[in-house]
Amino acid sequence: MLDSHPITSGNPKDQTNTPLKFVYDFSEGNKDLKDLLGGKGANLAEMTNLGLPVPPGFTITTEACRAYLADGAEPPSLRDEVSAHLATLEATMGRRLGQEDDPLLVSVRSGAKFSMPGMMDTVLNIGLGDRSVRGLARRAAAGQPAGGEAAAERFAWDSYRRLIQMFGRTVLGVDGELFEDAIDDAKLAKGAADDLDLDAEDLRALVEVFKEIVRREAGREFPQDPREQMDLAIRAVFDSWNGDRARLYRRQERIPGDLGTAVNVCSMVFGNLGPDSGTGVAFTRDPASGHQGVYGDYLANAQGEDVVAGIRNTVPLAELEHIDPASYDQLLSIMETLENHYRDLCDIEFTIERGKLWMLQTRVGKRTAGAAFRIATQLVDQGLIDMDEALTRVNGAQLAQLMFPRFDLAALAEHGGEAKHPRIAWGIAASPGAAVGKAVFDSYTAVKWSRSGEKVILIRRETNPDDLDGMIAAEGILTSRGGKTSHAAVVARGMGKTCVCGAEELEVDTKRRRFTAPGGIVVEEGDLVSIDGSTGKVYLGRVPVVASPVVEYFEGRIRLPEQTPVAGPEAGPATAGVTGPTTGSAVDPGADQPVADELVTAVHRIMNHADAVRRLAVRANADTAEDAARARRFGAQGIGLCRTEHMFLGERRELVEQLILADGDEERAAALEALRPLQREDFRGLFRAMDGLPVTIRLLDPPLHEFLPDITDLSVRVALAEARREPQENDLRLLQAVHRLHEQNPMLGLRGVRLGLVVPGLFAMQVRAVAEAAAEHVREGGRPRAEVMIPLVGTVQELEIVREEAEAVLAEVRAATGEELEVALGTMIELPRAALTAGQIAEAADFFSFGTNDLTQTVWGFSRDDVEASFFTAYLEKGIFGVSPFETIDRDGVGALVRRAARDGRATRPDLKLGVCGEHGGDPDSVHFFHEAGLDYVSCSPFRVPVARLEAGRAALAERRAAAAVGLAAERVTTA
């Protein structure tokens, strides 16, 4: 791991062959050196250079940490460098570290490039010892009114016991509980309720107890040498990079494990020197709403940890105006300076030591998703950033978060919280949102009840394609098995439908139409349940839900101050009465609709900008006219994937059964003829909803047996009928067909293009239905842009055969209808062989659409239906990958094939259109990859369309900025 971060990275001294510089004074760094100085160090340096009151200090680089972790020892030159910087610090402060009569004390704090709150170590008050503690007390008392000595004594001994406690725990590895227990014992002995009730004498006694704990537990004396304290603390911070907490946090937050941490050595200032001292945190604007104002907390006579630990109640920052008006005014002015300088919301930690304000930390602050959008546009309006910058300040994950309906937790609390609505399970948060409905245990009931206006939650052990009708009808889906890429999860995400899967504590009994939850809670069909797809929690009863105003906006149910549709990439000219792909919402809401609030307006403005800068077009995966219309409202510029198998469910299943059971050409032709008009109507609906925009229709893909009854159910039915001596001819034929079509590995079996090659007339029927629907749409005055797509092609010969047949059908329909129909014929690239021979395949394809679901499955050899539930958790825990390759494209493997196929395909046919229609098309990281790979469009579920639009805009900007940086570097080289 360490190899990927050579010890020379990022250090300005590298270029000059001089020895590496491991230590930077705060005055030597700046905010752009986060790789080297960590976030905290870089920002302390920046504030120092801005002339803000930062206690002097220095930063030891992440390179020093990486060298230490690689070699198990500090780099040889580090000690001397630290000595030199310490000497400068001592000279600046006018006292030496640990000086007996007036000790300089320092804090030693971790500070990685990315904030890892509380994950690594910090030691305060370094430099104190048995002698200097008395010097500190004397200095603290100096100049104080009479009677101040007792408080100063207390302060000094309290500082000392804090040092031993922190040092003992973090540096010497002593169990922290032992110190806490000793404090409790001291309070008990004194009958004191609060730490503050312990006086100097008590604390002096406690110091002795603490030293004894160290002696006993660590097998050594607490070091009295201040420099030894400092060196050991620095080493402990380096070591804490690889502590369990830090590693776990990094895995969760996807922070690389080989960055290392910087260490900040900073002269101590004290907020616990009396009522004219204190400590606090502040935000330059509200991290929840984004509004400017005075936000933060202050705690008088306290040190930083007291605020974080919540030992005493803080007061709102605004009260500082009355407590210490001069410091308050200075703080507000610094906050303004920082916000103007960083051009963003900053959060700040400060301390007031006897009326003097000190800045201890600042950084660009974390914020909620809504605040991110608001703040970005507020800063544009203040003239601090431009719209390009605003777009980089938000992301697709935040937008997605803003789009989900959610449980109203405030209302939940009002209604008695989880006591009123017991949480009965905690499964995998598979598809976000909040759904409430009556429990149903089969698709049939889900459809029936929803038709009569009931909201239902479909509950299954796991789902399969048979459940699709029920899933469409349900508000949400709950399963007791399967992970994030189980059928339920993938399909639900595709539909933008809430799903909790793998809720293993539930015993689902579909036969008896009920499930049992821990504690013997039984939920019967018709009982209300609430599922939270953002947390995986399942509740009994109805938890109140609030709709997302952002979705209302995309749906066109919110009026904007101004609505100006702008065409994005791939936009065809709009036909009469239908807007083309637009930015923001494609719908013009009526005058009686609610007006956009600040959040919706911010989303609208940023989406407009993303659309203006992006190069990638965004289409939707949609199988129904309704989905297509919604996708268009959400800004989709066409359909990238219509899975026609979804049109063969419900009542049409029987027709497919007839096709499968057909005995001879005549019966087969009759079955196909029965399906054709139904398909034609389906396609007309899509062409109408997407008038003027491309509609990619994929020919039938899944193994045929998916349309037949379950082998076990059918065998039982046949056996029972035989036992009754009432054999059913149809069932017997069905059972034979099920046996005939049964496959050990159906995903690698008779599916995709293979079906078209062995079931005569099937693909021809579908192509004819497409062409006829297009012709009818033309006659209606519409502009159909049909694209027919062949799935699971592995070699150009397969495609050539299907293409020849399709072209013949198209010619026939053209002749019969007299319409000049333009229908593109292309293929999916979803097998490694297809990707490797893309140059040949392109000879028979007008377009490629990468099916990255199957491509991931076949490249890795992972069954997409099984792996998440079986071993992915172990893989994620072992760090084999940080995120499932079914969620985010595996750039090195699957991605490499995509790049190669795109390159080879375009070499054969430069105008080859390239898109992607796997789940990855709506994943933010993957969208960036597809942009970089030069694809023309991504296609994703309607609900992800706005996310993909936003990320496509961000990807275009990132590319532009990278190119500008390269240009700048080249210019520098030329001028040098």
Query: Is 341 marked active-site?
Result: no
Within 10 A of 338 (CB to CB), how many other CB atoms are there?
A: 26
Of residues 347 and 645, the one with the C-beta less far from ligand PEP: 645
Q: CA distances (Å), 511 to each of 82, 441, 514, in order?
A: 72, 8, 8
Between 377 and 941, CB nearer to Mg ion: 941
| DSSP codes of every residue in 424-457 | EEE-EEEE-SEEEEEEE-SHHHHHHHHHTT--EE
Q: In whole angstroms, how close is the CB of 829 to Mg ion at the nearest point?
A: 10
Q: Which stretch binds ligand PEP (CB under 6 A): 404-412, 460-468, 852-860, 966-974?
A: 852-860
- Is 853 annotated to bind a ligand? Reply is yes
Positions in 585-644 near ligand PEP (CB under 6 A): 641, 643
Nearer to ligand PEP, 423 or 643 (CB): 643
Which residue of this chain has its Cβ atom nearest to Mg ion in the complex? 854
Tell me, residue by residue from 393 to 422, as one string, x for binding to ligand PEP by CB under 6 A and - for no binding.
------------------------------
Closest distance of CB 791 from Mg ion, Å: 6
DSSP alpha helices (H): ranges in 259-381?
A: 304-309, 320-323, 325-342, 369-381
Nearer to Mg ion, 469 or 830 (CB): 830
The number of angstroms, rounded, from the C-alpha of 685 to the middle of its chain's C-alpha atoms is 35
Buried b (16+ CB within 10 A) or exposed e, 207-232: bebbbebbeeeeeeebbeebbebbbb
499 is catalytic: no
Q: Which does 304 bind (CB under 5 to 8 A by kind): ligand PEP, Mg ion, none?
A: none
Judged by CB under 6 A, which stretch of 52-60, 238-246, 391-399, 850-858 contacts ligand PEP? 850-858
Instruction: Show Cβ contacts of residue 494 under 8 Å, excluding neighbours closer than 6 positions.
Output: 621, 919, 941
Nearer residue to Mg ion within complex by CB, 851 or 946: 851
* Active-site position among 917, 920, 928, 931: 917
864 is in an annotated binding site: no
> CA 970, CA 964: separation in Å to the nearest integer?
10
Q: Of the residues 5, 85, 421, 487, which is catalytic?
A: 487
Identify residues 660-679 at the interface with Mg ion (CB under 5 A): none
Site for ligand PEP in 914-973 (CB under 6 A): 917-918
Rounded-to-integer distance, Cα 497 and Cα 334, Å = 47
852 is in an annotated binding site: yes
In whole angstroms, give the CA distance from residue 387 to residue 382.
Answer: 12
Residue closer to Mg ion, measured from CB, 110 or 827: 827
Q: How far from 771 is each of 204, 759, 819, CA to CA, in Å? A: 91, 20, 10
- The verdict on whether residue 798 carries a ligand-binding annotation is no
390 binds, among ligand PEP, Mg ion, none (CB under 5 to 8 A by kind): none
- Which residue's entry shows tokens 């949400």? 476
The only residue of 242, 392, 853, 863 in contact with ligand PEP, by rule CB under 6 A: 853
Applying CB under 5 A, the site for Mg ion has a residue count of 3
Out of 635, 851, 895, 924, the only residue in the binding site for ligand PEP (CB under 6 A) is 851
Burial (CB count <10 Å: 0-12, 13-18, 19+), residue 729: exposed
Cα–chain-centroid distance for residue 605? Answer: 22
- Shortest Å distance, C-beta 853 to Mg ion: 5
**Edge-to-edge, what's the strand order for the sheet holding 514-517?**
507-509, 514-517, 521-524
Residue 579 binds to ligand PEP (criterion: CB under 6 A):
no
Query: Helix 148-166 and helix 176-190: axis angle, to 10°?
Result: 150
Nearest residue to 898 via CA among 957, 948, 966, 850: 850
Strand 937-940, strand 913-916: pairing = parallel
The one of Mg ion, ligand PEP, none whose footprint includes residue 41, by CB under 5 to 8 A per kind, is none
The binder of ligand PEP chosen from 852, 858, 888, 941 (CB under 6 A): 852
The partner in contact with residue 917, picked from ligand PEP, Mg ion, none with C-beta cut-offs of 5 to 8 angstroms by kind, is ligand PEP
Task: Map the footprint of ligand PEP across residues 682-711, applying CB under 6 A.
Answer: 701
Q: Which string of DSSP letters, residue by residue, matches 361-388?
A: EEEEPP--HHHHHHHHHHHHHTTSS-HH
Give the number of other CB atoms < 10 A from CB of residue 157: 25
Q: Are 280 and 334 in contact (CB under 8 A)?
A: no
d(CA 935, CA 920): 13
- Least distance to ligand PEP from the beta carbon of 848, Å? 12
- Given the rule CB under 6 A, which of 122-130, 658-666, 732-740, 846-854 is the region that contacts ligand PEP? 846-854
Of 827-846, binders to Mg ion (CB under 5 A) are: 830
When the beta carbons of 580 and 922 are compared against Mg ion, the nearer one is 922
What is the greatest pairwise CA distance in the chain? 111
- Alpha carbon of 971 to those of 15, 412, 868, 958: distances in Å? 18, 60, 49, 20
For ligand PEP, which residue of 239, 682, 798, 830 counts as binding (CB under 6 A)? 830
Segment near ligand PEP (CB under 6 A); pick from 142-150, 202-210, 849-857, 894-902: 849-857
**Is 854 flagged in the annotation as binding?**
yes
The answer to whether the CB of 351 falls within 8 A of the CB of 360 is: yes
H-only helix segments in 861-915: 867, 873-877, 894-908
**Contact characters 535-574, ligand PEP, x per CB under 6 A:** ----------------------------------------
Q: 97 pairs with which residues across the strands?
A: 104
Question: Would you count residue 794 as binding Mg ion (CB under 5 A)?
Answer: no
Residue 226 as a binder of ligand PEP (CB under 6 A): the answer is no
Rounded alpha-carbon distances, angstroms, from residue 976 to 16, 188, 937, 964, 969 = 15, 72, 41, 18, 10
259, 112 contact by CB (below 8 A): yes
Choice between 775 and 828, CB closer to ligand PEP = 828
Chain residues 640-669 in contact with ligand PEP, contact rule CB under 6 A? 641, 643
Q: By C-beta, is 830 or 846 nearer to Mg ion?
A: 830
Beta pairing partners, 24: 59
* For ligand PEP, the closer CB: 830 or 846: 830
Nearest approach, Cβ of residue 702 and ligand PEP (Å): 8
Nearest approach in angstroms of CB 935 to Mg ion is: 17
C-alpha distances in angstroms, 613 versus 363, 639, 681, 728, 952? 29, 21, 37, 63, 8
Tokens 């110190």 correspond to 179
Q: Which member of 344, 623, 854, 951 binds ligand PEP (CB under 6 A)? A: 854
Torsion of CA 471, 473, 477, 481, to 10 degrees: -30
Q: Which is nearer to ligand PEP, 790 or 917 (CB)?
A: 917
Q: Rule CB under 5 A: choose which of 470, 851, 895, 942 binds Mg ion.
A: 851
Residues in contact with ligand PEP, total (CB under 6 A)?
Answer: 10
Strand 278-285 to strand 106-112: parallel, antiparallel, or no bridges (unpaired)? Answer: unpaired
Residue 404 CB, shortest distance to ligand PEP, in Å, is 23
Residue 854 as a binder of Mg ion (CB under 5 A): the answer is yes
Q: What count of other Cβ atoms lies within 10 Å of the Cβ of residue 965?
A: 10
Q: In the window 359-378, what residues touch ligand PEP (CB under 6 A)?
A: none
First vs last Cα of the chain: how many Å apart?
35
Does the footprint of ligand PEP cover residue 829 (CB under 6 A)?
Answer: no
Residue 851 annotated as part of some ligand binding site: yes
| Nearest of 425, 426, 432, 462 to residue 870 by alpha carbon | 462
User: Shortest Cβ distance from residue 854 to Mg ion (Å)?
Assistant: 4
Q: Which residues are annotated as catalytic?
A: 487, 917
Binding region for Mg(2+): 830, 854
In the complex, the residues that contact ligand PEP under the rule CB under 6 A are 641, 643, 701, 830, 851-854, 917-918
Binding region for substrate: 643, 698, 830, 851-854
In the complex, the residues that contact Mg ion under the rule CB under 5 A are 830, 851, 854
Binding region: 643, 698, 830, 851-854
